[in-house]
Structure 1
Amino acid sequence: MNRTYQIAAVVVTYNRKDCLVQCMKALAAQTYLPATIIIVDNASTDGTMEALHDNGFNVKDHERIRCGKTEIMYERLEQNMGGAGGFYHGIKTGYEMNLYDAFWVMDDDGLPHRDSLKHMVGYLDHYDYISPLCLAAENHAMLAFDHKGVPLASDYIAKFAVDGVVHHDAFPFNGVMYSRTFVEKVGLPRKEFFIWGDEANYHRRGIVQGFEPVVIVDAIHYHPLNRAEYYDMNMLGKNRKIILTNSLLRLYCMHRNAAANALMDFPCKAAKNLLLRYLVYSKYYLSIEKSFKHWRVFNNAFFAGLFGLFEGHKKYLKQ
C-alpha cells in the first residue's frame, strides 16, 4: 500500500440494536480505522439510538460526532427503505461529501475481524471492488454463504485462492469495499429493490462496467449462517434448487427483483431463464406446496419485475 486511504464504513440497521452495538464495537476496534462510520437507521422502533448511547456511541440524528479517532454519522430515515434503500442512502451520503476513497458496506449483523480493513485497504492500489472472506458466525470453519457449492472455508481457499486472493468472486454487501471510482462509474444501489437481489444487481453492474471483484482471504468478516431454506425438485430432467420463504414480503421482493435482474442478460438468455423460473416456481407453489396464495404473490411479483413496477412490496410491509 502506497498511501493512507480515507474509508467510510456504511452500516444499515433496522430493529436489531444489539447486533448494531456489536458491529459498532468491532468497527471501533479495527487496527486500520475507518475515517467515518455512517449508520443508516431504517426508522427502527426498538430504541436503537438509546442503545448506542448506553454503549458510549453518543450519536445525534443527522450530525457528525467524534468518537475517538473515528467520526460517526447517524442517519435516521423517515421510513423503512429496506437494505437496498439503506445502502443507497449511506453510499450516496458518503460519496457526496467528497472526502472518502472507498466505502465499506455491511449489515448490522456482520462483524468484521479487527484486522479486516487493514488487509483490504492494501489492495485498493490495484482493485476497486474488494471483498472479505465471509465466515459463519456460528462456525468459523464454514462460509456464511456457499460459494460455487463449497461450504467449507478451507476448501474454498484451497480450490480458488491464488496468493491469498480469489479472483472474480465476492460476498456483496457483507463487508465489501467499493472504491470511489466504482461508485462514480456504476452508480448507487437500486433503492427500489427494498430487499433481496439488490446486492446481486450491484455486483453485476460492477462487472458490466469492467470491475473485477476479488476476495481477500486474510480479511475476515463474520455473518450469521445463510438462513435461506431450499427445496430440491426435478424439472425438465434436471435437479433444481429453489429458495423458499414463508414471508410474503420476502417472497414478493425475491421474485420481483430476480425477474428485474434477469433482464440484464442478453435477450435470448433472459427469455430462457425467465421462462424456466416461471415454470419451476409455478410447479412448486401449485403442485408441491399447493398454495395458490403463494403462487399469486409470486405471479404478481414476477410480472412487476418484468415491467419495472417497484411499489407492490409495500402492501406486505406489516405482515
Structure 2
Amino acid sequence: MVKKLSNEEKVQVSAVVVTYNRLAFLKECIAALLQQTEKVAHIIVVDNHSAQETQDYLTSLGTKIDYLRLEQNIGGAGGFYSGIKYFAKKTQDDFVWVMDDDTIPAPDALKQLVAAAKIVPEVGFLASNPKWIDGSPAVMNVPMVAHPNWTNRLDAQQQLIAIKQASFVSIMINRSAVLKVGLPIQQFFIWGDDTEYTERIKRQFEAYLVPNSIVVHKMKQNQNVDIIQDTPNRVGRYYYAYRNRLYNARQRSNKEVLRYWIQLVTMIVKVLVKPNSGKFKKIGVMLHGMWSGLWFKPQVEFVQGQ
C-alpha cells in the first residue's frame, strides 16, 4: 500500500548518482544536489570502479555523501541496481531520486517532484523534465506519454502528464514501488534497464512527468544512440542494446516483438546501403544481440526483510 502524504509532512528523499570516470560532471551534479531548495536526506554515489582521482574526491566529501565503490564496472544498470538496493536496505527514506553523473538538476527540481508526490498519493514514480545544454528537450530522455492526446492531471500548483516509461535521468521512485516490484535488472549492463524498470513499475502504479522539475542532461550530442553514426570503438556495446530491446519487447506483447524484428531488418538494410565503415562488424553485433535476446531471462531480485 502506497503511503499517502500530507502537505505538511516532511518527505525524505535519497538521491542515487551512478558515476564512471566523469569527475567534472560528477562534481557539478553533487554540487547541484547539495544546493537543492528541498534538502536531500542522503546522497548515495555509486562509483563503478572509477580511476583514483574520482575515488579521492568522493572520499574527501566525508559524511556529505554515502559512498558506494564497486569492485568492478558493472555498467549503468548494475550501478542503479546497487544504488536503489542500498537505498532500500540502508535508509528509511520515502523516495529514491536517480540520475546519471552528467545530470544537473535545477535548484528546485526536487521541490517540484516532492510537491507532485503529495498531489498523487498512489504514484509509483515521477519524472523530471530533461533538457539538453541549449534548453531543448533531451532527445534520449523524454518520457513516453501514456495517452496519444496527452491526458493531463491538473492541479492549482502542478500540471502532471501521465507517462508509461522514463529514463534514469532524474526520476523519483516511491519506496513502496521498489519493495513491491523489485530492483532494476543489473544484467542489462547498459541501455534499456530504465525502460524495463519504469514499465514494470507502471504496470502496478501511476507515473507522471512533472514539467516544472527541470534537469539538464549534459550529453555530448542531443541525439538517440545510432550504431550507424557511432564511433568504431563503441560498436561492441550495441550488443546490449539489441539484446535488451528484444527482452523488453518480449515483456510487452507479440506485437512489440514483431515491431522489433521489423526495426532490426530495417537497420541491417540501412547499414548495408549507407556509406559507413565496419558494416559487417555492426551487423554481426546486432545479430549477436538479437540471438542472445531470445534466451535472455534474468531474474528480478527483491529486497528482503524491509
TM-score for both structures, normalised by structure 2: 0.82
Whole-angstrom distance in 1 between the partners of 2:143 and 2:87: 33
Q: RMSD between aligned alpha carbons?
A: 2.6
1:81-108: CA deviations, max 9, x gaps?
1110000000001101241111000000
Aligned equivalents of 1:46 and 1:199: distance in 2?
28
What is residue 201 of structure 2 aligned with on the other side? 206
Matched to 2:261, the amino acid is L
1:295 pairs with one of 269, 283, 288: 283
Q: Say yes or no: does 1:90 pair with 2:83.
A: yes
Greater percentage in strand: 1
Percent identity of the aligned residues?
A: 34
Query: 1:153-302 to 2 correspondence within 5 Å?
Result: 162-163=154-155, 164-168=159-163, 171-209=166-204, 211-225=205-219, 227-228=222-223, 244-246=229-231, 247-267=234-254, 269-288=255-274, 289=276, 291-302=279-290
Task: Specify the alignment match of 1:116 in structure 2.
Answer: 109
TM-score, normalisation: structure 1: 0.79
Could you tell me whether the CA contact under 8 Å between 1:228 and 1:243 is conserved in 2? no
| CA distance 1:195–1:149, shift in 2 (3 Å) | closer
Shift of 1:118: 1.0
1:39 aligns with 2:9: no
Check if 1:11 corresponds to 2:17.
Answer: yes
Residue aligning to 1:80: 73
Alpha-carbon distance in structure 2 between the residues aligned to 1:243 and 1:167? 33
Alpha-carbon distance change, 276 to 131 in structure 1, aligned in 2, over 3 angstroms:
same
Does the CA-based 8 Å contact 1:40-1:90 persist in structure 2? yes
- Name the SS for the 1:264 alignment partner: helix
CA distance in 2, matches of 1:254, 1:245: 13
Once the two structures are TM-superposed, the CA of residue 149 in structure 1 deviates from its matched residue by 10
Unaligned residue ranges in structure 1 (runs of 5+):
60-64, 151-157, 232-241, 311-319
Provide the residue aligned with 1:130 in structure 2: 126
Residues 249-298 of structure 1: per-residue CA shift (max 9 Å, x gap): 3311111111111111223x144123213311221233435711111111
Match of 2:95 among 102, 108, 117: 102
Higher relative contact order (CA 8 A, sep 6+): 2
String of CA shifts for 1:179-229, please: whole Å, max 9, x gaps.
1011012211110111111111112111222x2221111111111255445
